[in-house]
Every structure is written in structure tokens, then in C-alpha cells.
Amino acid sequence: MSKTILITGATSGFGKAIAEKFASEGWNCIITGRRKERLETLAKSLAEKNKVKILPLVFDVRNKTAVFEQLTNLPTEWQYIDVLVNNAGLALGRDNFDQANLDDWETMIDTNIKGLLYVSKAIVPYFTKNKKGHIINIGSTAAKDVYPMGNVYCATKHAVDSISQSQRIELLPHHIKVTAIHPGAAETEFSEVRFKGDKVKSTAVYTGYDALQANDIADVTYYCATLPPHVCINDLVITCTAQANSFFTHKN
Ligand code: NDP
Ligand code: 8X3
């Protein structure tokens, strides 16, 4: 029987690459995001290319009502989910604490923390009913270090780290695996979003070294998701070879 994965934030970057990887391995995918057209185009191409089933769901993870409406009433054939990837997230701005924008802070908190909680809370009942499941939370090296002008983004990713640890403890009786994957800088649309469309600033982030690519994270996610039932990778920090942590990247 084919397995099923639900990936939030599949319209670009890690989420899209994860959907492509799992679909190519024969998994059915529930893919989510706000950009309807991108999501539907991806759904069509994944289904055609891989002969798997794809369910695209358009919603904003910040919208509690929409999350629960969409995810708690899944069609019966989609209710056996093997893996949830909480990937949807963003950084907005790189400003010192005194300069940073309150709306940016609220968006990051609402998306990266509250969105992840809403989606997890909506999906865990399927896992407890099925007596198995796997939550994979996408954290960041920003979950492990706090860097200058990272203030609230780092805080939201520290929260992802902390929530992952709590989920792992509290969902133990239900045979639910919890893996936190913490990537370093990776070349996706992340910096374009962070710098609000400023291509000069966003391109500079990935210049002078071989940055991680989205498919590197997809491959690692696939490895974590396909280990034997008694094996769980709990916490994984992954950077490109040129990066040691949030502070040290060797640029040419
Ligand atoms: P992208 O900007 O390429 O992708 C972000 C995805 O999240 C998009 O599909 C976007 O979809 C979705 N998303 C954002 N906000 C919302 C929302 N409110 N509701 C629903 N979906 C949303 O960036 P990445 O792929 O790089 O980022 C994915 C995750 O990885 C994020 O959590 C990020 O913090 C984390 N990360 C990124 C790193 C990097 O350097 N790239 C490193 C470490 C972690 P849409 O806009 O269609 O809603
Ligand atoms: C994204 C990587 O270095 O901007 O989480 O925090 S970084």
C-alpha cells in the first residue's frame, strides 16, 4: 500500500522539493500553501509524472479556523497519514531589536509557532487513532544559536526546537516519532521573502560558497522518514560544508 505524507508550505523551497522527492518514491502527498495556482500546478505535475495521488489544500497556517476546517475533515482515503512535515515558515527582516517591525514579528510568531501548533493539533488525532505517525518539524540553525538581527526569527525557531522536544515526550505513548531537522542557509525563496523582494540582498546571502539546496533537505527528510519503525532520528543539524553554524561561513 502506498504511504501518505502531508507537507505544509509546498509551493516553493524545501516543501516543494520534499513533495517531489516523496512523490518520485511512490508516496501520495497532501500539499499545502497559500498560492493556489502554484500548488495546483505542482499537484498536476507530480500526479502525472509519478502516478501517485496528490491532494492540494490551499490555506494559511495562521488561520486557525481554516487549518481545522481543512485538516480535520479529510476525505476518508486521506485519513491514514504516515508523515507530517511542518515546513511552512518564514523570516521577515534583519533588523536590530530597536529597529525591527512589530508586524514582521507577529507574522513570524503566527506562522512559525502558532501555525505549526495548529497543524500538529489537527493531524495528531489521525496518528493516535492509527497508533503510529511521524512529525517532522523544520527548525533551523537559528533554533540552536541566536545571531545579531535574528531576534524574533531565532526565537520562533528555538520554539520549534522546544515544541519538538515536548511532542517527542508527550506523544511517546502513541508510538509517534518526532524529528526536528535544523538546516543552515539554503538557497530557496527564503531570503527573497526575508528581504521583501530585494534581489541584491537575497542573492548576496548565497554568494561565495556552495549553499545547501532544497533537494539536500528533501533527501535527508526522506531518509528520516523511511527508517525502520523502531528507529527515530530526534534532532538533526545540517549545513553546507562551508558553514559551521549561524556565525561561521567560509566565503571565497
Ligand atoms: P520558501 O520561502 O522557499 O518556502 C516557504 C514555504 O512556506 C512556501 O511554500 C510558503 O507558501 C509557505 N508559507 C509561508 N507562510 C505561510 C503561511 N502563512 N501559510 C501557509 N504556508 C506558508 O522558504 P524555505 O523553503 O527555505 O523555508 C521552509 C522552511 O524552512 C521555513 O520554516 C524556514 O524557516 C525554514 N528554514 C529555511 C532555511 C533557509 O535558509 N532557506 C534554513 C533553515 C530553515 P505560500 O507562500 O504559498 O503560502
Ligand atoms: C534560515 C537560516 O541563517 O537565516 O533559518 O537563520 S538563517
| Mean pLDDT value across residues 201-216 | 98
DSSP H or E segment with residue 178? strand 176-183
Is 147 a known active-site residue? no
What per-residue confidence (pLDDT) applies to 63?
98
Give me the residues paired with residue 135 across strands: 84, 178
Pocket test of ligand 2: the residue of 140, 156, 194 to mutate, having most ligand atoms within 8 Å of its CB, is 140
Pairing mode, if any, of strands 83-86 and 133-138? parallel
3-state secondary structure of 2: coil
pLDDT tens, 19-44?
999 999 999 999 999 999 999 999 99
| % of the chain exceeding 70 in pLDDT | 100
Which residues line ligand 2 at a C-beta cut-off of 6 Å?
Answer: 91, 140-142, 185, 246
DSSP H or E segment with residue 180? strand 176-183
> Would you list the domain boundaries of the chain?
4-238
Reading the block at residue 187, the C-alpha cell is: 538557497
| Mean pLDDT value across residues 71-78 | 96
For residue 140, which atom of ligand 2 is closest to its CA?
Answer: 5
pLDDT tens, 151-203?
999 999 999 999 999 999 999 999 999 999 999 999 999 999 999 999 999 99
What per-residue confidence (pLDDT) applies to 26?
98
Pocket test of ligand 1: the residue of 61, 188, 245 to mutate, having most ligand atoms within 8 Å of its CB, is 188
Would you identify the CATH topology of the domain 4-238?
Rossmann fold (3.40.50)
pLDDT category of residue 1 using cuts at 50, 70 and 90: confident
3-state secondary structure of 107: helix
Q: How far is the CA of 218 from the centre of ligand 2 (A)?
A: 17
pLDDT tens, 103-130?
999 999 999 999 999 999 999 999 999 9
Average pLDDT of every residue of the chain: 98
| Mean pLDDT value across residues 208-213 | 98
> Active-site residue among 80, 153, 209, 222?
153
Reading the block at residue 64, the C-alpha cell is: 486557525
What per-residue confidence (pLDDT) applies to 232?
98
What per-residue confidence (pLDDT) applies to 162?
98
Which residue in the block uniquely carries the three cell numbers 530557496? 188
